[in-house]
Structure 1
Amino acid sequence: MKELNLRYFQSVALTGSLSSAAEELHVAVSAVSRQITNLENRLEIKLFDRQPRGMKLTEAGELLLAYSLRNQLEISQVLSEMQGVVKRQKMTIKVACPEGMAWNFLPSVISRFAERFPEVRFDLLVVDSVRASELVREGSVDIALTFSLSPDVGVKVVSSHEASICALMPREHPLASRESVGVEDVVDYPLAMSLGGSTMRHLFDMACSLAGVKVLPAFSCDSLGAIYTVIGESSSMIALCSAVTVSGKVERDGLVLKPMKEPQLSLRHLQV
C-alpha cells in the first residue's frame, strides 16, 4: 500500500467524510475519493459504506484503520528513539479511564508508582470506557483502564480481572448482615446507580429482566462521588459499584460492600 493511499484512508476514517478529509489534507474532494477508490481496487476489499451523511468503515476498514494507526505510532516511536528524546527523565505517561477508577483506585496506584519513579509524569484523562479504548487505538493515550464486556479490535489487552458488580450500603442497612444480595432484594429499597449507557447499567438491566423484576433507581448520576455521598448520608439506600472503585474507603466510611447473586453481574472485566 502506498503511503499516500493510507494517509488519505486514515483521514477519511477518522473524520467520517470525504469533504472533511479533503479540508484536513488541503486537497480537492475528488482527489481524496480517487485515492480511496484506488486503495479499495488494489486490495479488492470494500473499506467504506458510502452513506448520505458520510463514510462508515466496514469491518475490514476497521482492521485497516487499527493497523494504520499502530503503524503510525511505531514509526513515531522509532523516530523519537533515533532522536534521543525518549528518556526516562522526560517521560510522560498518558492514561485514560472511566470515572469509577479515577475517583480512588487509579490515583492511589499512580501515587505509589510516582514515589518509586519521581521523574515520570502522568496525564490522566477521565472518559467513559468506550472512549478510553478509542483513545488507545488512536494513539492519544498510552494506557487505558476500562470496564469491558469483550475485547476491542485494535487494542492489546495486557491484563484482565473480573470486576463483578456489588451492592454498596450503610453498615446499618437491613441487608448488610447478608452474605450476598440479589436484584429481587434491591426492589424494596431506594437504589442509586449510573445513568444508562454504562456496562454496569446494561448488566443490571439484563439481570432484572431475567429475574422478572423492574427496578427504577431513586438516584441516577454519572458521578461516583455523588453516588457515594448519597449512600453515606442515607440509612436505607443501596448503590451498585465495583469493589475496585471504592477500595480502601468502604470500611473507613462505615459502609459495606456485598456481592450480587446474579451471574450476569460478574460478566464485566477490568482491562488494561
Structure 2
Amino acid sequence: MQELNLRYFHSVAKTGSLSAAAEELHVAVSAVSRQIANLEQRLGMTLFERQPRGMQLTEAGRLLQAYALRNQLEVESVITQMQEVTARQQRKITVACPDGMAWYFLPSVISGFVSQYPDTRFDLQVVDSARASALVKEGSVDIALTFSLSPDIGVKVVSSHSAAISALMSQHHPLAGKADLHVTDLSPYPLSMSLNGSTMRYLFDVACSLSGIKVHPLFSCDSLGATYTMVCEHPNMIGLCSAVAVSGKTHREGLVLKPLQEPQLALRSLQVQVMAERYMPTHIDAFLNFLEQRLESACR
C-alpha cells in the first residue's frame, strides 16, 4: 500500500468524515473519496460503512487503522533517529596531525574540550605534516596541525606558533643544569630523534653541519612516544622534540626540556590550518578557539 493511501485512510478514520479529512489534508473532498475507493478496490474489501453522519470503520477497517497507526509511529521514530544521526554527524570534528602532536598534546586538548561539549565527537588521523595539509585542502578533514617551514598554498593558517627543536632529558642529566645548550654539547651522549625526512631531522642536520660536527643518533624513530620512553628509561638519553608536543607532561616524569641555541632549530613553526574560504560551523569554531588558548599557554 502506498503511503499516500494510508495517510488519507488514517485521516478519514480519525475524523470520521470525508470533508473533515479533506480539510485536514488541504485537498478536495473528491480526492479523499477517490483515494479511499482505490484502496478498497485494491484490497478487495470494504473499509468504511458510509452513513448519513459520516464514515464508520468496518472490522477490516479497524485492523488497517491499527496498522496505519503503527506505521505512522514507526515512520516518526525513524525520522527522529535520522535527525539524531544527522545532528551527531554535524557535531563531529575531524583532525589530522603528525605523531608529535597526536601522542600527548592534542588528545589532552580534545579531552578538555569534550568535557565541556560532551556531544562533540572527534576523528583523529595521524599522518605526516604534508599529508595533513593535503587532507585539509581536499576537505577530508576539518583541521590540520602541521610542523612547517613555510606557508602552504591553498589553506588558511588560523594561527602559527613556535615549534623550536629542544633537548628533552632527565632532570639529573649532566647537561640539565647548563644555562646555554648547543648541538655540540649533545655529541657525547646517546640521542633519540626522528628518522630522515622529517623537518626536525633536516634542521638538526643543518645545525650540526654549520657547527662542524656530525651526530649519529643511537635511536631513530618517528614516534614521539618511543623517544619519550627512551629518555625516561635511559639516564643519559637525550630526545629531540618541540616544547608544545610535551607541554604539561615532562614534570610528571622528572624530565626537563632545554632550548638549543642554534637559530636553525627555531625555523620550524606549528600551524593550525583549515580549508581556505570555508565557512566553519559553530562547533568547529568553538574548538579552534579552545585549541588556540591551549597553544598560547603551551608556547609561552
Smaller-chain TM-score bracket: 0.5 to 0.7
**Aligned position for 2:267:** 267
Counterpart of 1:182? 182
Cα distance change, pair 151–86 in 1 and its aligned pair in 2 (3 A): farther
Deviation at 1:86, TM superposition (A): 7.1
1:245 matched to which residue of 2? Answer: 245
1:226 is aligned with what amino acid?
A
Paired residue for 2:61? none
1:210 and 2:210 equivalent? Answer: yes
In 2, Cα distance between equivalents of 1:172 and 1:102:
28
Partner of 1:172: 172
Q: What's 2:143 paired with?
A: 143
Q: Deviations over 1:111-156 (max 9, x none)?
A: 1111111111110000111110011011110000011101111111
SS of equivalent to 1:145: strand
**Deviation at 1:180?**
3.0
TM-score (norm 1): 0.67
Query: For residue 188 of structure 1, what is the amino acid of its counterpart?
Result: P
The match for 2:128 is 128
Once residues 180 and 165 of structure 1 are traced to their aligned partners in structure 2, the CA distance between those partners, rounded to angstroms, is 14
Given that 1:90 and 1:119 are in contact with CA atoms closer than 8 Å, whether structure 2 keeps it comes out as no
Letter in 1 for 2:196: G
Larger Rg: 2
CA deviation profile, 1:164-191 (whole Å, cap 9, x unmatched):
1100011111100012311110111111
Q: Deviation above 2 Å: which 4+ runs of structure 1? A: 85-90
SS at match of 2:155: coil
TM-score with structure 2 setting the length? 0.61
Describe the SS at the equivalent of 2:108.
helix
Alignment of 1:13-162 (within 5 A): 87=87, 90-162=90-162
SS in 1 for 2:147: strand
Q: Name structure 1 gaps, 5 residues minimum.
A: 1-82
Q: What's the % identity of the aligned pairs?
A: 68
Aligned to 1:61: none
- Aligned residue for 2:295? none
The one-letter code of the counterpart of 2:114 is A
* Cα deviation 1:190-227 (Å, max 9, x = unaligned): 11000011111111011011111100001001111111
Whether the aligned pair in 2 keeps the contact of 1:96 and 1:145 (CA below 8 Å) is yes
Q: Deviations over 1:8-38 (max 9, x none)?
A: xxxxxxxxxxxxxxxxxxxxxxxxxxxxxxx
Q: Which amino acid aligns with 2:152?
A: D
C-alpha distance in 1 between matches for 2:239 and 2:112: 29
- Cα RMSD (Å) of the superposition? 1.8
Amino acid across the alignment from 1:184:
T
